[in-house]
Chains A and B, each alone.
Chain A
Amino acid sequence: MTVVRNDDWDVVLNVKNLRVHYATPLGDVIACNGVNFDVYRGETLGLVGESGCGKTTAAMGILRLVPPPGRIVHGQVLLDGTDVMSLDEGELRQVRWRQIALIPQGAMNSLNPVMRIKNQIADGIETHEGRQPRAALRERIVELLNTVGLPSRVYSMYPHELSGGMKQRVCIAMAIALHPSLVIADEPTSALDVVVQRVVAQTLLDVKERLNVSMILIGHDMGLQAQLVDRIAVMYAGNIVEIAPVKEIFGESLHPYTQLLIESIPSIKERKPLKVTAGLTHDLRNPPPGCIFHPRCLYAMDRCRTDVPPLRELAPKHRVACHLY
């Protein structure tokens, strides 16, 4: 197994030029338009953007779980060196959950209401590792539950007896059950109350450190991203427009869209006038020529309307797709 090296860091996941389209009667919707990014071992990468920007689609694309009418048109996904796109179904099933785990959106509402927690987790484990001896399995599940901060009594409870935050932590436990090298968490806290969100978020951090998993955290809450991730990749309408360490995204972001996102965050620390932005996102079936953001960009130049800016490294580990630079 070859390992791609980059600045002395191990790259766990290498996504190259991923393109995912959704077929509709009026033409293909371009959900991901050539997405490129890397995830290094042990880091948390945040994937942010507004609704419809393609972040969930990118995650599904990595796991080859894009539901029809979507389809992966192009792309390479190197997981520890192996190209996921070239695997057949059997090999793919080995990769899924064992090497990459997914906590999908709304996972806590997808727990089977008629099965106890212990059986749901056991199901996941046994599907991939075959039948396990009862006692060892029980110990393993209880340990998993404790890792995510749940008391042992949750072992024999039903989902409806648990609160939202506890259910979400069960989903995290299921995701880490087989010690994957990468966990993708899609909006893991979006339906939770603020305090519960903090608990679940801290659980994620805790888990990540203890098991040394890499994580992709997908979301649109910039505040949460600031608390949890090491690097952020900003997506807009199917393209990655900026990738940088989290301090630089919040401190000196370079792409106009990133700046717009940061400015839209209402502050809890000081009252200031609201920054109103106009602009409607274009129809995803007919993306504008040139830079994808130019219809809304305050700094659009002539060049932006015709040439697509490539994603270039402008500072160490800081890449931007913009003609301003």
Chain B
Amino acid sequence: MSQPLMEIRNATKIYGGGFLQSGDQVIALQDFSLTIDEKPAMITTIAGESGSGKTTLANLILGFISLTSGQILYKGQDIAILKGAQRFEYRREVQAVFQDPYEVYNPFYRIKHIFDLVIKNFKLARNKRKAREVIEEALKVVGMRGEEVLEKYPHQLSGGQRQRMMVARAFMLQPRLIVADEPVSMVDASLRAMILDIMLRMRDEHNISFLYITHDLSTAYQIGDQIYILYQGIVAEKGDTAAVIENPKHPYVQLLISSIPVPDPSQRWDTNISLPPEEELRGQVKSGCRFYPRCPYRMDRCLIERPPLCNIAGGAHAVACYLYE
């Protein structure tokens, strides 16, 4: 029974509301817990809309911001106290691919700069020849060749190519976990499948786990193993991807899934149902369930205390709603 690869325990991140600061507190993430096992490699989806906290989670895991409370443990160690060589190891094993394939490249340098940086800092190769080999191997995984792209400038490549290079760069370090923050939302529709396919192959052939962060439930449904659906910083529903999406229980998730436009003209939205009012602009710290203002099944109880996650149907599916206690 090995320890999990990554364990997040009750992570909470609150912005603002301090002594000298104006404005209300914003709870970006509250009591978030997650476990990723070392084997088998899995794609865990964190799904949510804007303001759900998913980007905050990515930044916390990658160490760009720090927690207000709670812990993030990597191989049993709290990442907040990692120093020196251990921190370096963490950097190596947890990599990222971001949403925007344009701004992640320094326009001053050629493409190979991103690979050179990694090779130099992590000492992946002793000389130029070996370095080139390492790069070519990484490029092969994403279906490209060095001579086609390395000497070019970022603006000379398409968005899809740039995004694939980013995946290759992450792969080069042989990480254990890649945090992919909306990796395909800025890529053309017909090229998305290619990048998602690369992710699947990396999971199956190289044992790399992914944290796939997205707002697009359709792609999550196609490639995710496990899913966590966030709403305003808390987990509304989580579990096996197929179970959650085919059989959503939480009222918010039900609303979400039924609102996804189905690409079939004979299955149009039921325009007769009345939709809940739009979200008020966020700011106030609320007590009770976050979805209360918009929930068609709300009870008085929901306003007093936030519903905890309860398991349904034997553990692979959990919902945070009093309807299922």
Q: Which A positions have Cβ atoms within 8 angstroms of B?
A: 50-51, 161, 163, 165-166, 193-199, 201-202, 205-206, 220-227, 246-247, 250, 260-262, 264-269, 271-272, 274-278, 280-281
Contact = CB atoms under 8 A, between A and B. Distances in A.
A126 B99 CA distance: 42
B242 A161 contact: no
Given A163-B281, A267-B222, A271-B242, A194 B49 contact: yes
Contacts of B264: 226, 250
B262 A223 contact: yes
Given A196-B278, A247-B266, A266 B194 contact: no
Contacts of B78: none
A269 B262 contact: yes
Nearest to B276: A195
Given A197-B259, A276-B197, A268 B221 contact: yes
A202 B269 CA distance: 9
B82 interface: no
B256 interface: yes
Chain A binding site: helix, strand, loop or mixed by DSSP?
Answer: helix
A262 B278 contact: no
B188 A51 contact: yes
B169 interface: no
A269 B216 CA distance: 14
9 A-B pairs with the lowest CB-CB distances in the bound complex, closest first? A223-B261, A193-B49, A266-B218, A198-B259, A274-B193, A223-B263, A50-B188, A224-B261, A227-B261
Which of A194, A220, A264 has the most B CB atoms < 10 Å from its CB?
Answer: A194
Contacts, number: 125
Given A223-B260, A266-B222, 7 more contacts: A50-B189, A194-B217, A246-B265, A260-B190, A271-B222, A274-B223, A280-B161
Contacts of A260: 190
B196 A274 contact: yes
Nearest to A223: B261
A220 B189 contact: yes
Nearest to B279: A163
B69 interface: no
A261 B281 contact: no
Contacts of A261: 189-190
